[in-house]
A and B are shown apart, each in its own frame.
Chain A
Amino acid sequence: MTDFDPTRRDVLKTSGVAALGLGGGTGLLSTLETVDTGDGGDAVASFVGEDRVVKSACSPNCRGKCPLDVYIRDGQVKKVEQQVPAATEFKRGCTLGMSHLQRVYSDDRLKYPLKRASWSPDDPQPGARGEDAEFERISWEDAFDLVAEKIQQTKSEYGKESILWHSGSGDGGTTGYGRLTQLVGGIRDSFVFGIDTNVGQGFNRITGEGGVFMPPTNTADDWVNAETIIIWGSDIFASQFQMDAEWVLDAKRNGAKLVVVDPVYTNTAEKADLWLPIRPGKDTHLALAMMHYVLENEVYDAEFLRSRTNAPALVRTDDGTLLDPSRISEDPPEGSVVVMNEETGEPEVVQAETGGPFALFGEWTVDGTTVTTGLAQLREQAADYPPEEVADVAGLTQDDIETAAEWLATRGSGGIMPSYGVGRYLYGHVFGQAYATLLALTGDYGRHGNIHAQHPSYNGSYLHTGDWGSPEGAEGTEYHGYRKLLGMLEDGDPVQPRVMYGMNSNMLGNQFPDRDRWLAAMENLDMIVWADMYHTPTTQQADIILPAAHWFETEDILTTYTHPNISYREQAHEPLWEAKDDYYIMAGLAERLGHGDKFPDDKHDVLDRFVQNDDRLTWEQLREQGTVATDETPTVAYTDAFGTESGRITVYDDDAPAEEGPGLPDDGVSLEVPKPLEARTADDWEGADEYPLVFMQKHSKWRIHSQWANVPWLREINTEPQLDIHPQDAQQRGIDDGDYVRVHNDRGSVVVQAKYNEGIRPGLVNTDQGWWAEDFVDGHYQDPISAETAKVGRTFAFYDCRVEVERADEQYQSNQYTEDNPRGAEGTAGGD
């Protein structure tokens, strides 16, 4: 076996200095000249066995962190395969992870630090940013100096709150970002709140688990025990589950009934035993209808409700609060609730995890106060949502609603797997509360076969990084959710950032709605610095661009909560051109900001700290096996008291917030029990006549957010952004299959090619998320979406968007990709 030197770079030569030629450049790419080895490569029939195989892992925001085998020959990556990890049942990977090779060697890669030609620290000219801005190459020395000096200058003039640190979710490795930002100080933005925090927020409020993303649930290997799985608003086999498809497929094979709730007939719906083609925005209605069925037919889990929820808790009918235990007991334990014991006929104070003959329904007078039960309150709410009526509202049949409820309640253990997508409405958190409540009725917590999220939660697999993220001498940062950024940038509310450092993010190209507002707001910044692997629509808006290394070019140790393996990533080869591991970028800045001593010269030493600090890990095992399996996560979640004050799921939450926002009464709507709140998806929304169609931007199988956008293998099949539209909707508008259409509302528009899809609900249209600005004939999918958030929701509502669609002007009616199309991309794959 030949020993290849991974640091040898002579085989990788650039094809000239890439100074100003940024952006565009798809088509047939050649970034590397080969060295003539003169060894007559054709004489060899196969190179199997000659490659050096390097253990690695992927790390985008699918959160998969799939262990990968990277094959290297002649110093160059030749292929990527799924790696068999220590916990072998978690061998996984997807179309994207296995196409990294074309990401490493891509013409879109940033090669050198760049400075916007029209920018200087004393004369930033923010108005000169934009699509036409030109850049010039600078050295790393100059780049670090410029950035650090400007940060120092701005801090001393305006205070540390003028420094805005931005990170997205593009990478999950060790970069030192947390450490540096703590040391330097400033504002750090955060997903909380918010992007995609709705479903988790609602669920966790009543189960007390804290956090705002997907809730904890049973481990993936337990899912085979489910008798009913409801995949709710999720195209998991496209957006995420490629990596782990077998868990759900095996459950189905073992007899689980698969229900899919989705307005679109997707690859996931194709696997369903029952598909509920729900109207967008009606998910809480459906959940309530299912609760109605369960309550009316008395197929709820009475024992579970009595012991693990506040269903039997006494609620005052005068003000809706829970009866105070001190009313009937002298020194009631904290968090206890009052219940009515049906055997004794007396009220009783009980703590968490305690069952008994407690009444679930009824009305009594206790200590002079009329009370009923928490469950009675829920039943009263659900009474307004009988399946036969919700069927009309949600576009379903009564039969199907009842079947789904029947299966969940009576077949045995079951679960619900929602996506983040079902929360992408202003009030989407109510759905989180609703499905958590429904599962409480059916007692689906704490048993084998229960599922509460669309991915597992192996919390035990986290690295023990010790105090790496909280260094001594830190000035400290303040967190602000993404939704607050516009207010800050536009109006200085609550603080005015003047310098912004961004990484792991393509925010201006992807999930920040109402794009033009962001572009305008960022004119208030004197310096925008961005680090990325590629030149994106966001880096185009920056003043200083820093080239980050591709993941394979870094060394790292990766963990995830979606599987129990800790993965080692060995460096495949040195970063190409002058790209740097983000860690070395952070370290370079740290040195000039007076914190150089806090960043070891060699990142390996940082990783070594973690390994030494963690007795599960040895370098030997990490290097040889590539992964270490952890086993701290219990198979079954929710076996102990819940994290709420009472230790019980609050099917009636007397401490509920009141939601406020468009379409709601001025004094808000309080959410003791789930109430279906809608903004633009409401049937009586005032703009419905002008903008009748709901607009989604689903996460497709062809990219993770806006990563993998320019991989030639994938672009051969997925050639350009399109609009999924039902033929009926299209024909009503005189739109033929393949016509270019303008999707618009009063906020903005985008022009894309119409694609007839019998599987999309009439009244709904979709353009897959993640395409870059340059891919659109005109406009961008973020342009029609509002950046407003609700009072409680506080998260961007990408699907709370209505549009009209019409055939675009004649000038747009040609396929702009015809000339640049790699030869043969038409008709070579799929669909024929």
Chain B
Amino acid sequence: MTSYGLVIDQERCIGCHSCAITCKQENNVPMGQYWNRVLTEGGDHIDTPSGTYPEDGDGGNLEMKNQPTTCQHCANAPCVKVCPVNATYTRDDGIVEIDYEKCIGCRYCMAACPYNARVFNWDEPEHVPEEGTGDVPARPQGVVEKCTFCSHRLEEGLDPACVVNCPADARIFGDLDDDDSTVSEYIAEYETHQLLDEKGTDPKTYYIRGEMTPGRPWKGKHMEGEDGETSTADVEAATERVPHVPAGPEGGDD
């Protein structure tokens, strides 16, 4: 059985918003809407910390973390439960998908989702440029839309756009049901948490904090398992320290 999941390493995330913008582009998301947002855990404004500035260099406690947030593709999705017309459903592979033709725009799903993951097209969606962007057609006015884990790319063996285009290699996508997948390995090895897990939604998006992972270990755009990808072990080897070797006649260790 396949169960797609996403791991986001917040120690690697630099808050650059590439994932948010790339998603808009790939999925032809209208102006004024976001499927993927990078929230600042800290101050009231983006990229500002909470806490107080150190006085004379001392005693401050400023803190900030970046939290890219999109549909969590919950295993126990509240949105699926409340949709009156079964427009929102969970696929066999775990992706929570919307059938736009069935959606009647009642927005019960948006009320049910605790992650604010969904957006609604109140007006005719507008795109810049007008013809649209990316590889999927636009959704019409009057329907709800959200992250699909780029299911249209998965079908072609490609990782989601946000995962491929993260410059910090902070996003890893894969099969949670496969113990050998990178996502499963990282969840087992590193300190992870799920957002609002007390609500029982069982999200399939895991956030890593504390110790940094090696990140997404392969450079290609393909999904893991699709085409001779690099395993974590290879990444460890590639980023292994070269023991210090004096390059010149002198210049020893300090």
Chain A positions near chain B (C-beta within 8 angstroms): 28-32, 34, 41-42, 44-49, 51, 71, 74, 76, 78-82, 84, 88-89, 91-95, 98-99, 101-102, 105, 222, 224-225, 237-238, 241-246, 249-250, 252-255, 265-268, 270-271, 276-277, 299-301, 303-304, 306-308, 353, 355, 391-392, 394-397, 400, 409-410, 412-413, 442-443, 445-449, 636, 639-640, 701, 712-714, 716-717, 724, 726, 737, 755-762, 822-825, 828-832
Contacts of A409 in B (CB 8 A): 254
Bound form: Cα–Cα A224–B168 in Å:
15
**B155 at the A/B interface (Cβ < 8 Å)?**
yes
Q: Known interface pairs A88-B219, A254-B241, A636-B247. Does A758 touch B39 (Cβ–Cβ under 8 Å)?
A: no
- Can you list 29 A-B contacts (CB < 8 A)? A29-B128, A30-B128, A34-B130, A49-B156, A74-B131, A78-B135, A81-B164, A82-B165, A89-B219, A98-B18, A99-B25, A242-B16, A243-B167, A245-B12, A249-B168, A267-B66, A268-B14, A277-B60, A304-B252, A307-B248, A391-B56, A396-B57, A397-B56, A640-B248, A701-B16, A712-B31, A713-B21, A714-B21, A759-B49
Stretch at the interface among B40-48, B76-84, B87-95: B40-48
**B161 at the A/B interface (Cβ < 8 Å)?**
yes
Q: Is the CB of B248 within 8 A of A639?
A: yes
Q: What is the chain B residue whose CB lies nearest that of A397?
A: B57
- With beta carbons under 8 angstroms apart, the residue of B54, B164, B244 that contacts A449 is B244
Q: Is the CB of A99 within 8 A of B21?
A: yes
Least CB distance, B6 to chain A, in whole angstroms:
18
Q: What is the chain B residue whose CB lies nearest that of A713?
A: B21
Contacts of A726 in B (CB 8 A): 53
Q: Known interface pairs A277-B53, A392-B56, A448-B245. Does A244 touch B167 (Cβ–Cβ under 8 Å)?
A: yes
**B225 at the A/B interface (Cβ < 8 Å)?**
no
Contacts of B18 in A (CB 8 A): 93-95, 98, 242
Q: What is the chain B residue whose CB lies nearest that of A252?
A: B212
Least CB distance, A327 to chain B, in whole angstroms:
26
Q: Is the CB of A759 within 8 A of B53?
A: yes
Q: Is the CB of A46 within 8 A of B46?
A: no
**B253 at the A/B interface (Cβ < 8 Å)?**
yes
- With beta carbons under 8 angstroms apart, the residue of A49, A91, A267, A714 that contacts B15 is A267
Q: Is the CB of B57 within 8 A of A712?
A: no
Contacts of B209 in A (CB 8 A): none
- With beta carbons under 8 angstroms apart, the residue of B45, B238, B251 that contacts A755 is B45
Bound form: Cα–Cα A395–B58 in Å:
9
Q: Is the CB of A101 within 8 A of B167?
A: no
Q: What is the chain A residue whose CB lies nearest that of B51?
A: A758
- With beta carbons under 8 angstroms apart, the residue of A94, A701, A822 that contacts B31 is A822
**B181 at the A/B interface (Cβ < 8 Å)?**
no
Bound form: Cα–Cα A573–B46 in Å:
37
Contacts of B241 in A (CB 8 A): 224-225, 254-255
Contacts of B132 in A (CB 8 A): 78
**B220 at the A/B interface (Cβ < 8 Å)?**
yes
**B152 at the A/B interface (Cβ < 8 Å)?**
yes
Q: Is the CB of B251 within 8 A of A446?
A: yes
Q: What is the chain B residue whose CB lies nearest that of A11?
A: B131
- With beta carbons under 8 angstroms apart, the residue of A80, A394, A756, A822 that contacts B44 is A756
Contacts of B107 in A (CB 8 A): none
Q: Known interface pairs A224-B239, A270-B64, A303-B250. Does A76 touch B131 (Cβ–Cβ under 8 Å)?
A: yes
Bound form: Cα–Cα A654–B228 in Å:
59
Q: Known interface pairs A447-B247, A717-B17. Does A758 touch B133 (Cβ–Cβ under 8 Å)?
A: no
Q: Is the CB of A447 within 8 A of B57?
A: no
Contacts of A253 in B (CB 8 A): 212-214, 239
Q: Is the CB of B133 within 8 A of A828?
A: no
Q: Is the CB of B44 within 8 A of A831?
A: yes
Least CB distance, B102 to chain A, in whole angstroms:
15
Bound form: Cα–Cα A762–B220 in Å:
45
Q: What is the chain A residue whose CB lies nearest that of B136?
A: A46
Q: What is the chain B residue whose CB lies nearest that of A105?
A: B129
Q: Is the CB of A48 within 8 A of B153?
A: yes
Contacts of B249 in A (CB 8 A): 307, 353, 355
Q: Is the CB of A95 within 8 A of B17?
A: yes
Q: Is the CB of A79 within 8 A of B134?
A: yes
Q: What is the chain A residue whose CB lies nearest that of B16?
A: A242
Bound form: Cα–Cα A756–B53 in Å:
12
Least CB distance, A488 to chain B, in whole angstroms:
40
Q: What is the chain A residue whose CB lies nearest that of B169?
A: A246
- With beta carbons under 8 angstroms apart, the residue of B43, B220, B240, B247 that contacts A758 is B43
Q: Is the CB of A102 within 8 A of B57?
A: no
Least CB distance, A649 to chain B, in whole angstroms:
12
Q: Is the CB of B253 within 8 A of A412?
A: yes
4 pairs of A and B residues whose beta carbons are closest in the complex: A824-B32, A46-B152, A396-B57, A830-B46
Chain B positions near chain A (C-beta within 8 angstroms): 11-12, 14-18, 20-22, 24-26, 31-34, 37-40, 43-54, 56-58, 60, 62, 64-66, 123, 126, 128-137, 152-153, 155-156, 158, 161, 164-165, 167-169, 212-215, 219-221, 238-242, 244-254
Contacts of B248 in A (CB 8 A): 307-308, 353, 446, 639-640
Bound form: Cα–Cα A616–B18 in Å:
33
Chain A contact residues, majority secondary structure? loop
Q: What is the chain A residue whose CB lies nearest that of B250?
A: A307
Most buried by B among A76, A95, A832: A95
Q: Known interface pairs A249-B12, A446-B247. Does A98 touch B32 (Cβ–Cβ under 8 Å)?
A: no
Q: Is the CB of A395 within 8 A of B64?
A: no
Q: Is the CB of B167 within 8 A of A92?
A: yes
Bound form: Cα–Cα A449–B253 in Å:
12
Q: Is the CB of B131 within 8 A of A34?
A: yes
Q: Is the CB of B58 within 8 A of A397?
A: yes
Contacts of B48 in A (CB 8 A): 724, 755-759, 831
Q: Is the CB of A48 within 8 A of B158?
A: yes
Contacts of A30 in B (CB 8 A): 128-130
Bound form: Cα–Cα A355–B164 in Å:
50
- With beta carbons under 8 angstroms apart, the residue of A245, A307, A396, A825 that contacts B14 is A245
Contacts of B165 in A (CB 8 A): 81-82, 93, 98
Q: What is the chain A residue whose CB lies nearest that of B26?
A: A79
Q: Is the CB of A400 within 8 A of B53?
A: no
Least CB distance, A51 to chain B, in whole angstroms:
7
Least CB distance, B22 to chain A, in whole angstroms:
5
Q: Is the CB of A32 within 8 A of B131?
A: yes
Q: What is the chain B residue whose CB lies nearest that of A757?
A: B48
Q: What is the chain B residue whose CB lies nearest that of A47?
A: B135
Contacts of A82 in B (CB 8 A): 164-165, 167
Q: What is the chain A residue whose CB lies nearest that of B131?
A: A34
- With beta carbons under 8 angstroms apart, the residue of B21, B38, B40, B215 that contacts A98 is B21
Least CB distance, B17 to chain A, in whole angstroms:
5
Q: Known interface pairs A449-B244, A758-B62, A830-B38. Does A238 touch B16 (Cβ–Cβ under 8 Å)?
A: yes
Q: Is the CB of B219 within 8 A of A84?
A: yes
Contacts of A271 in B (CB 8 A): 11, 14
Q: What is the chain A residue whose CB lies nearest that of B63?
A: A270
Q: What is the chain A residue whose CB lies nearest that of B129?
A: A105
Q: Is the CB of A716 within 8 A of B32?
A: yes
Contacts of A265 in B (CB 8 A): 49, 53, 62, 64
Bound form: Cα–Cα A443–B246 in Å:
11
Q: Is the CB of B164 within 8 A of A825?
A: no
Least CB distance, B185 to chain A, in whole angstroms:
15
- With beta carbons under 8 angstroms apart, the residue of A94, A442, A761 that contacts B167 is A94
Q: Known interface pairs A32-B130, A242-B14. Does A759 touch B164 (Cβ–Cβ under 8 Å)?
A: no
Q: Is the CB of B31 within 8 A of A237?
A: no
Contacts of B158 in A (CB 8 A): 48
Bound form: Cα–Cα A48–B34 in Å:
21
Q: Is the CB of B133 within 8 A of A79?
A: yes
Bound form: Cα–Cα A100–B240 in Å:
36
Least CB distance, B82 to chain A, in whole angstroms:
23
- With beta carbons under 8 angstroms apart, the residue of B32, B52, B238, B250 that contacts A306 is B250
Taking A267-B16, A830-B39 as given, write out 9 further A-B residue pairs in contact, using a Cβ cutoff of 8 Å, ordered by the A residue number.
A79-B26, A79-B134, A88-B219, A242-B167, A713-B25, A716-B31, A822-B126, A830-B46, A831-B43
- With beta carbons under 8 angstroms apart, the residue of A78, A224, A412 that contacts B133 is A78
Q: Is the CB of A46 within 8 A of B135?
A: yes
